[in-house]
Chains A and B, each alone.
Chain A
């Protein structure tokens, strides 16, 4: 009796869930995807070993030298990509994409076996292939697709590049064009340069046509796949166009003025016939036009949009969209992060992950806005070296099309105090909903810190009473005090308040009416104002310490950090040969010297008794998936942190995901060093050393050295030892 009833409830729920477009697994939170299982064999061999083997198999072929060079550089780039952590292994996205490839190549098992298809963590709406059979599909592309057939066509296009060996052909043709020996074009330098683009466009057109042929051999709907060009044409737009409303940030008392809301957004332009002379791909109109005559098939009705699964496609796309929020943050595209998070929040309003994306993005926009105390300048010197400041600025909203334009307009229009108030209000509410989340709690304190130390806004700057209450109070007061003589100042204040109450002016003053009733809010605010709060996410807005008159810093004195343990990353080493301005990377030597530098680093640390642990993908084995993931999160974190330059105030949004690494390593400091050696008429070396605090993102040390002469081991040792000495040596108390 109960079973049919339960079934109805479940069916009803599923119907509701499907009809609203939400997927239950995302309702509460989202955990970023990571790689799992065993690492495939192609991740394990060194680039040198693979290159040597492939070169030995070349035999006697034309353009052997160019092909050798191609093999070496291709393998090194591929190896770099595979071990960067951006490539996902055995994750739901890659598994799904591979299943689509299985369907596409059902009739060609040998070709299918030759292919290695992975999804990469990148927001770019793109897919690309290496001749060796590697195809990479970006998460940004998956987030934009409309159906499985479109994905299949994109795979078919990339498979054609592999089959036709487009990369190597283009490489050889480029060399010929450069030397003027190409049969393709032997004209002037400009003509040869344009010929490069023309050659590439021809390959793309071939991939479009041949890809379509491959599609026709499968059971995928040709009609459904034709929208793939729309995906490419509008790839610069967010994955959905949802009307952005300012009410998202408002509450009963906090009302943002209409001036912050763009009334009319720019229409999305439909220019598909742009100038593609200097583009590697033909424009979309040409691409559409080229395949259009081929689109007709007799069996379209028997073909399907989805061969693997529609549900799985939607699930995968939703994961990709969630991933995209995080990628936008790490790529410092805060406006898109806010908008993507906003779009998904419409479906998943309680999702903790989305709330954190929103809060982090707002915080980082805030710290890049000039505050009362900063005056907009953020340039400073660290460790005697200047690192160029990389201030984030919101792109001009006039350049944006579609509804996301409102996001740009609103955040551009808000000053630091306004944004601080909105961000704090949003983040604190999120914190109240998820009180155990450490990031939201820390972000709250950081926002309090900016409010107090940056914007000089204290509790008494905010009204405890709403505008409605004040209006009422004002009427009563005026009636009661008719006979009492008022002071000039009281009259001015009353007038100001009246204007504020009746208009949108100074809306932030009333932003915390509800929150000021919250004990925790008041208590944390008070603590911050009194300087009692410890450890906000970044420490740039902490109260400045009083300057000591006694201790004068010696000129060029590098600060000693007194750090006992660091994490060493695989060092960077690049040896290039500079031949009349053209640089050729010496891949083999670079790889060998990278090992030498790593050994020097360890030797110097041992000598200094500086403890260390290493995060490396060198010698990674099949079962080292944890190491692979560790390296991935660290690379993510570093990529994001480096994009901030010397901007210590900006939060590294991916810090959340490296807490375990910090715990396991027993230190929060990461050191990365590298050498760039260029051999022209003379040898020139550039050495760098970077030390970062993984918890706060603070750049602790940044050192560069330029020298002439060979990159001898003793020279490098003296550099590394000097850097590590400053890291380890304790400052005099």
Chain B
């Protein structure tokens, strides 16, 4: 993560320096904006961090934007969010238990019953292009963003209910531990936003719009063949795939609203 952040900051500073001397008015001479935005959308494709019931996915974004050219803002953002992962995994094992074939299933059933947790800390770098006729940072815009997602998956020990189904009989389910209980993953997403930015009272910046995100690892992971889930190593892989798919759905579509202020 350290290397990625350093790289982004370096790129940002190069772009910043390159645009510093250009003839850009900004808004009343102010070109740097610091703000907070919230991306949100009902969690209809997965649980939230605390509940399987329908809730709202929400991402907290801390933004730094600089009007580098007449119609372009350079954007740097730090985002955090938490979400939940529903783990109910069913697979077929050719077990060694008397040579019988059975279907095994793992269900994550911790006490209290909350989903597996994914917490993500992301860094985004992007460009905001304002529509023709507008001057940054006011007006309608389209934003392209590269988002690096640093996510942690955590879950409780001994919380997987394991059971075998032989077809003619079912074992008594028993609780088991799967994997290490915490994994860290890195991936990236490409985001596209459309919105409108307004300046109120010559200082406050109101930003609203919608965002579509594409997380390649989540999208292509779905196409992979079924994974084995019989050892600690394969658990990590399965959890990675599940996590990415959850992140993919989380990023897919969001609305956003933000408030900031013109700093410099």
- Chain A residues whose C-beta falls within 8 Å of the C-beta of B140 in the assembled complex: 708-709
**Does B186 belong to the interface (CB within 8 Å)?**
no
**Does A608 belong to the interface (CB within 8 Å)?**
yes
Closest to B200 in A: A714
Closest to A712 in B: B198
A335 to chain B, nearest CB (A): 42
The answer to whether B23 touches A557 (Cβ under 8 A) is yes
The answer to whether A717 touches B23 (Cβ under 8 A) is no
A606 to chain B, nearest CB (A): 10
Bound complex: CA A714 to CA B199 (Å): 6
**Does A527 belong to the interface (CB within 8 Å)?**
no
Closest to B25 in A: A722
A612 to chain B, nearest CB (A): 16
The answer to whether A722 touches B135 (Cβ under 8 A) is yes
The answer to whether A707 touches B25 (Cβ under 8 A) is no
* Chain B positions 213-258 with a Cβ under 8 Å from a chain A Cβ: none
Number of interface residues of A (CB under 8 A): 24
Bound complex: CA A38 to CA B69 (Å): 52
* Chain A positions 690-733 with a Cβ under 8 Å from a chain B Cβ: 705-709, 712, 714-715, 717-719, 721-722, 725-726, 729
- Chain B residues whose C-beta falls within 8 Å of the C-beta of A726 in the assembled complex: 23
Q: Please judge, given known A-B contacts A714-B138, A714-B198, whether A708 and B23 are in contact too, CB under 8 Å.
A: no
- Chain A residues whose C-beta falls within 8 Å of the C-beta of B198 in the assembled complex: 712, 714
B 143-186 to A, binary, CB cutoff 8 A, 1 in contact else 0: 00000000000000000000000000000000000000000000
The answer to whether B202 touches A705 (Cβ under 8 A) is no
The answer to whether B29 touches A560 (Cβ under 8 A) is no
The answer to whether A729 touches B28 (Cβ under 8 A) is no
**Does B87 belong to the interface (CB within 8 Å)?**
no
Bound complex: CA A677 to CA B131 (Å): 17
Bound complex: CA A612 to CA B70 (Å): 25
Q: Please judge, given known A-B contacts A706-B133, A707-B134, A714-B198, whether A721 and B23 are in contact too, CB under 8 Å.
A: no
Bound complex: CA A558 to CA B132 (Å): 17
Main SS at interface, chain B: loop
- Chain B residues whose C-beta falls within 8 Å of the C-beta of A707 in the assembled complex: 131-134, 139
- Chain A residues whose C-beta falls within 8 Å of the C-beta of B27 in the assembled complex: 714, 717-718, 721
- Chain B residues whose C-beta falls within 8 Å of the C-beta of A603 in the assembled complex: 28
Bound complex: CA A715 to CA B198 (Å): 8
- Chain A residues whose C-beta falls within 8 Å of the C-beta of B70 in the assembled complex: 722
The answer to whether A718 touches B131 (Cβ under 8 A) is no
**Does A617 belong to the interface (CB within 8 Å)?**
no
Bound complex: CA A718 to CA B200 (Å): 12
Bound complex: CA A256 to CA B132 (Å): 57
Most-contacted residue by chain A among B134, B138, B200, B202 (CB, 10 A):
B138
* Chain B positions 91-145 with a Cβ under 8 Å from a chain A Cβ: 131-135, 137-140
- Chain A residues whose C-beta falls within 8 Å of the C-beta of B138 in the assembled complex: 712, 714-715, 717-718
- Chain A residues whose C-beta falls within 8 Å of the C-beta of B28 in the assembled complex: 603-604, 607, 717-718, 721
B219 to chain A, nearest CB (A): 34
A723 to chain B, nearest CB (A): 9
B 73-87 to A, binary, CB cutoff 8 A, 1 in contact else 0: 000000000000000
The answer to whether A708 touches B131 (Cβ under 8 A) is yes
The answer to whether A725 touches B29 (Cβ under 8 A) is yes
- Chain B residues whose C-beta falls within 8 Å of the C-beta of A705 in the assembled complex: 133, 135
**Does A685 belong to the interface (CB within 8 Å)?**
yes
* Chain B positions 195-210 with a Cβ under 8 Å from a chain A Cβ: 196, 198-200, 202
A 590-617 to B, binary, CB cutoff 8 A, 1 in contact else 0: 0000000000000110011000000000
The answer to whether A709 touches B25 (Cβ under 8 A) is no
Bound complex: CA A709 to CA B138 (Å): 11
The answer to whether A729 touches B134 (Cβ under 8 A) is no
- Chain B residues whose C-beta falls within 8 Å of the C-beta of A725 in the assembled complex: 23, 25, 29
The answer to whether B133 touches A685 (Cβ under 8 A) is yes
Closest to A715 in B: B138
- Chain B residues whose C-beta falls within 8 Å of the C-beta of A721 in the assembled complex: 25, 27-29
- Chain A residues whose C-beta falls within 8 Å of the C-beta of B202 in the assembled complex: 714, 717
Bound complex: CA A706 to CA B132 (Å): 8
A 35-69 to B, binary, CB cutoff 8 A, 1 in contact else 0: 00000000000000000000000000000000000
The answer to whether A558 touches B23 (Cβ under 8 A) is yes
Closest to B138 in A: A718
Bound complex: CA A715 to CA B206 (Å): 13
Closest to A687 in B: B133
A728 to chain B, nearest CB (A): 11
Bound complex: CA A718 to CA B73 (Å): 15
Bound complex: CA A410 to CA B198 (Å): 61
The answer to whether A709 touches B139 (Cβ under 8 A) is yes
The answer to whether B29 touches A718 (Cβ under 8 A) is no
With beta carbons under 8 angstroms apart, the residue of A604, A712, A719, A729 that contacts B23 is: A729
Bound complex: CA A663 to CA B106 (Å): 90
Closest to A559 in B: B23
A17 to chain B, nearest CB (A): 64
Most-contacted residue by chain B among A603, A685, A718, A725 (CB, 10 A):
A718
7 A-B residue pairings within 8 Å (CB atoms): A557-B23, A603-B28, A607-B29, A705-B133, A709-B139, A709-B196, A719-B135
Known: A714-B202, A715-B139, A718-B138. 6 other contacts (CB 8 A): A607-B28, A685-B133, A707-B132, A712-B138, A715-B134, A718-B25
Q: Which of B's residues lie within 8 Å of A, judged by CB?
A: 23, 25, 27-29, 70, 131-135, 137-140, 196, 198-200, 202
9 cross-chain pairs, A with B, having the tightest CB-CB distances, nearest first:
A707-B133, A722-B25, A714-B199, A718-B138, A718-B135, A725-B25, A706-B133, A714-B138, A721-B25
